Structure 1
Amino acid sequence: MSDFVLQCRDLHRSFIDGDTTIEVLKGVNLELHKGECIAIIGSSGSGKSTLLHSLGGLDQVDEGEVSISGVSLAQLRSDELNRLRNRELGFIYQFHHLLAELTALENVAVPLLIRGLNKDEAAQQAREWLSAVEMEHRLTHRPAQLSGGERQRVAIARAFCGDPVCIMADEPTGNLDEENAERIVQLMLKLAHERNTAFVIVTHDRRLAQRMDRIYRLTEGRLLAE
């Protein structure tokens, strides 16, 4: 049985800008094993976020196939795709995307509630994950009451709480100062290794990229190993 958690074959994605067709992805291929951490680098506008969204089933491709845990995303209905994302994937963004009206505990519990866990069980698991990211003292604080580094730690707890096979992170340290960025990197890698969770990180930060198992550069629509 294959231990690939993510595979993509010959991905193509274009956008129309007026009378111009802009080819962003031109036959991208990638295979990711369980527990493997990779970085995707490239210049601004190279299509890194488009690729990440395509891999995570957040954006449709024009051609090619993405599979998560052996399941082809193209074969799934919308509700099935949502369920797969909830169970198999976690997402971390540059701007945490926490819900402003919810506490840290409630934000982390949301994916578990969507999955169907009861409120008490979801809250217990959320509490454990917030403890794992050293945020147990901020359970009842809302995002506006947290620092940038604290908000990102809550976002990490939310990404990991459903025990996904793969986490996709889009510039996860891009909005943090150097000290907080280093803390976040250490925390993400520690949890990934402990849980044997695969990681795909899109970043401009060469130092962060060099901490991964492999580095790929997206250039002129193609993904090249460095």
Structure 2
Amino acid sequence: MAGHSKWSNIKRKKGVNDAKKSKIFTKLVKEISVASRTGGAEPEFNPRLRLAIQNAKGANMPKEAILRAISKGDGNHANEYSEVTYEGYGSNGVAIMVVCMTDKITRTVANVRAIFSKYGGSLEKSGSISFLFNHKGVLSIPSSDIKNQDDFILELIDSGAEETENDGEDMHITCAVEDFGKLQKQLEKFNITPSYAGLQYMPHTFVVLSDEALQQLMKLIDALEDDDDVQKVYHNIAIQPEQEKLFLMH
């Protein structure tokens, strides 16, 4: 059961439609700009910026847009943003973590609370949901980039990989947060660019939903992801194999 939902946050992003692409680019621009402002505009000396650029490339953001976003980091607006994480429950006891980047926390928390309420959920106190998740580093690389999988996995383990899973299209790698940078550097040595790389809240307790309940819950998740201040949304829905197509349609 867990295997079908563990990577759902990544898989769903890869199936995003053009209507949402511009909104994703907006979120990536914000992250690149803040990373540039806080750690400098040179990716080789700024791990956060290097990661943001990597994810932007994985989302097929044009090079010119990435360079403009880095330049924005020289402006005064970038350092006004702060990252905050909210925790809540959706219908049927689904746990949801919402990572936001905002320049006005009062606006953001009001919007997030209103979205939870509108779709039958509730915003909870900090710490009431997070214990259901592990904070991990996650990297996904195209399976076609792997020459010898057994040797490759051994190299990854030596660099801190805790788990690997190949779904035929991508190999997904998880590691402790403190080993994330080491794995990034190892992939760079192999000249491999991840299609996704980042820190994720990964559930260790799951909730199974009926198709109808899943569609209702996805309305909440879609609404959260559509909010301009929301960067990432994590949940503990156990997506069954027969539900994956339904899940990716949203």
Structure 1-normalised TM-score? 0.31
Work out which structure has the larger RCO, using CA pairs closer than 8 Å and 6 or more positions apart in sequence.
1
Q: Counting strand residues as a fraction of each chain, which structure ranks higher? A: 1
| Higher helix content, 1 or 2 | 2
